[in-house]
């Protein structure tokens, strides 16, 4: 059993929205949730990538429905919640993993690069949280009238922040601002949604993805010794001296989606091999 990948944590009968599920951590989370028994709304802007993820989810025996569109569009966010309810009958888990980078030092950064990053990360997370909570709120009030508190049902929101949002990073003023905003949003919604038994937590992961592997924080280093030195220094930031693959960080996402986290809310969990010690 691979506990790092969340094996043994079951989500049978649950349904989840995973944004940015066309690759990287989002794809790994969608597949892991499917393996744990959840039905998945797969969201991405790439039709090909989203359908690839859906096939991976279906290959492990779970249901997957693709909904394309940008997360920063409030109508798209609403459509994701509506799709979960219409396709699966209910929504239990929301995971906001969609992300982009537009790295430059601030004096070289265009205003549009700020807006693009804030729209995907912060506004997209906000829009999807609002859509889910608007759906859940009346349902929970109905449940309170008929359910014994001992049988209370918890819903889950899992947001994604980063080391840059927690401590800043040169060349990422847009990204760091967005990710720091997600921390504040997570803690605020944990307070707002706590009485509704909605756990709202965030994960700050470090994993090898197409986005992170191509990222040099706006330095635009060419292949060769300078870039190799940069990558070596990044690796050495980790206390464990290695950077995980996306499927090696999914255990944290499964934990926050499972009943094991029912008494945890408003927290940020670093899953980074000790890079933020």
Q: Where does 60-172 have alpha helices with state H?
A: 74-88, 111-118, 124-146, 163-167
For residue 199, list its beta bridge partners. Answer: 156
Phi, psi of 108 (to 5 degrees): -105, -5
State the Cα–Cα distance between residues 213 and 23, nearest whole angstrom. 13
Catalytic residue among 33, 175, 217, 263: 175
Q: How far is CA 161 from CA 64, 91, 186, 200, 271, in A?
A: 25, 23, 10, 13, 11
What are the residues facing 269 on neighbouring strands?
Answer: 203
**Whether 236 contacts 277, CB under 8 Å:** no
Residue where the block lists tokens 């004096």: 107
Q: Are strands 15-19 and 39-44 parallel, antiparallel or unpaired?
A: parallel
- Are 42 and 53 in contact by the 8 Å Cβ rule? The answer is yes
- How do 64-68 and 93-96 pair as beta strands? unpaired
| Cα 148 to Cα 182: distance, rounded to the nearest angstrom | 33
Chain-centre distance for alpha carbon 203: 7
Rounded Cα gap, residues 190 and 196, in angstroms = 10
Catalytic residue check, 217? no
Single out the residue of 92, 118, 117, 106 nearest to residue 18, CA to CA: 92
Indicate the pairing of strand 155-160 with strand 93-96.
parallel
Catalytic residue positions? 175
């Amino acid at each position: 059993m691979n506990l790092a990948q969340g094996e043994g944590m079951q989500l049978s009968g649950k349904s989840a929205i995973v944004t940015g599920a066309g690759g990287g951590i989002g794809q790994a989370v969608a597949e892991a949730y499917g393996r744990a028994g959840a039905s998945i709304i797969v969201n991405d802007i790439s039709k090909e990538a989203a359908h690839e993820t859906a096939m991976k989810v279906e290959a492990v025996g779970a249901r997957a429905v693709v909904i394309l569109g940008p997360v920063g569009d409030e109508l798209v966010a609403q459509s994701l919640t509506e799709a979960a309810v219409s396709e699966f009958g209910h929504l239990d888990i929301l995971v906001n993993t969609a992300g982009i980078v537009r790295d430059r030092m601030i004096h070289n950064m265009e205003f549009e690069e700020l807006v693009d990053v804030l729209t995907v990360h912060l506004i997209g997370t906000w829009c999807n949280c609002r859509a889910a909570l608007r759906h859940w709120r009346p349902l929970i009030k109905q449940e309170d009238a008929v359910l014994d508190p001992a049988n209370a049902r918890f819903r889950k929101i899992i947001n994604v922040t980063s080391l840059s949002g927690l401590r800043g990073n040169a060349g990422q003023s847009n990204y760091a601002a967005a990710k720091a905003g997600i921390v504040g949003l997570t803690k605020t919604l944990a307070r707002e949604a706590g009485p509704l038994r909605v756990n709202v937590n965030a994960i700050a992961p470090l994993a090898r993805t197409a986005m992170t592997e191509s990222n040099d924080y706006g330095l635009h280093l060419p292949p060769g010794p300078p870039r190799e030195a940069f990558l070596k220094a990044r690796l050495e930031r980790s206390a464990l001296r290695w950077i995980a693959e996306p499927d090696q960080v999914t255990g944290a996402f499964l934990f926050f989606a499972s009943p094991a986290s029912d008494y945890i809310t408003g927290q940020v969990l670093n899953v980074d091999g000790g890079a933020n010690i």
